[in-house]
Amino acid sequence: MKLATLKSTGRDGRLVLVSRDLHQALEVGDIAATLQQAIDRWDEVQPRLQVLYRKLNEGRAPGAFAFDPAQAGAPLPRTYQWLDGSSFISHGQLMQKAFHLEPIEDVESIALIYQGAGDDFLGSRDDIPLPSEQHGIDFEGEFAVVVDEVPMGCSADAAMAHIKLVLQLNDVSLRALAPREMKTGFGFIQAKPSSSFAAVAVTPDELGDAWREGRVHLPLQVEWNGEWFGNPHGGAMHFGFHHLIAHAALTRRLGAGTVVGSGTVSNVDQKMGSACIAERRAIEMIEHGAPRTGFMRFGDRVRMEVLGSDGQSLFGGIDQRVVSSLGAGKALCES
């Protein structure tokens, strides 16, 4: 099943079903007005949505209309909790080698996760407004999952059943601001602006054999200003999503609608390219002694796409520009 949120006057948008080929959509407000409402009552609403989804794919759903990803926001425009991991060990190893950092203790046995801001997610075609190019603007291609309520102490095996939806995202980072925030030990605030999500959330069964071991076993295709940047494979996650969920739920329950990210998709094989600029710069530092690739400038465009075995887009992709927030942001602050 595929779901999206169309933008509306409300902060949480309007939930719609989307056909498997992403061509058609169907309003489902009589079942659940928003995706958060659907996740809150998943066991009740999922069977009803599934019936309509089947009809939509068969062309038998009255009221179906053309689906336009540009009219959609993030599947969950805001969430009570956004947790992001660092589950691709090769990414961390490159950073440590490039910057001569001490290895993180137990990094291969204890998951790394930070808690980010989930109150203002962007849609897949929304511009990314930021205040300065000097902040080191970077994209980060990732996967994520949405869970229903997870009890405290949930095991990794049990966590698999709590994964209801899979997402694709661009976790925007400001690299010039990150080092100080990491040194404080308090985590990211300024270095992590609003993340962007592909328009369509999918149930794990939509991925077929590509969903196994709590991982998305598909490449993430990344382009920067129309040029290939990488297609690293999601199956290389060291910790599966079920491991991340169990780690986060060790001492607390996770509320329904919690979003858990994989961290930057990264592969040991550097011929697969990268899903963020920082990783390419780290490789250049190791090979040449200094980075050769700059960060994003205003007007730059990033595209990210995940294709299924049939060659069709699974999540609707991400296609965004970075723009200056100055002027509009100043007016809002002064109003």
3-state secondary structure of 244: helix
Strand ranges, E, within 139-180: 141-147, 163-170, 173-174
Is the CB of residue 111 less than 8 Å from the CB of residue 85?
Answer: yes
Distance, in Å, from the CA atom of 40 to the CA atom of 255, rounded to the nearest integer, reads 9
244: tokens are 């991340």
Beta bridge partners of 296: 137
157: tokens are 């095996």
282: tokens are 């780290």
**What is the predicted pLDDT for the residue at 185?**
81
pLDDT < 70 regions, the chain: 327-335
pTM, entire model: 0.95
Domain 76-334, second-level architecture: Alpha-Beta Complex (3.90)
Residues of the chain with CATH 3.90.850.10: 76-334
Beta bridge partners of 218: none
Is the CB of residue 106 less than 8 Å from the CB of residue 268?
Answer: no
Distance, in Å, from the CA atom of 233 to the CA atom of 108, rounded to the nearest integer, reads 19
* Burial of 249 (C-beta count, 10 Å sphere; 0-12/13-18/19+): buried
Q: Is the dihedral of CA 224, 229, 232, 238 positive or negative?
A: negative
**What is the predicted pLDDT for the residue at 71?**
98
**What is the predicted pLDDT for the residue at 204?**
98
Distance, in Å, from the CA atom of 111 to the CA atom of 320, rounded to the nearest integer, reads 30
**What is the predicted pLDDT for the residue at 103?**
83
Distance, in Å, from the CA atom of 199 to the CA atom of 316, rounded to the nearest integer, reads 6
User: pLDDT for 87-145, tens place per residue?
Assistant: 999 998 999 899 888 888 888 889 999 999 999 999 999 999 999 999 999 999 999 99
**What is the predicted pLDDT for the residue at 327?**
63
**What is the predicted pLDDT for the residue at 184?**
86
User: pLDDT for 58-71, tens place per residue?
Assistant: 999 999 999 999 99
16: tokens are 């719609």
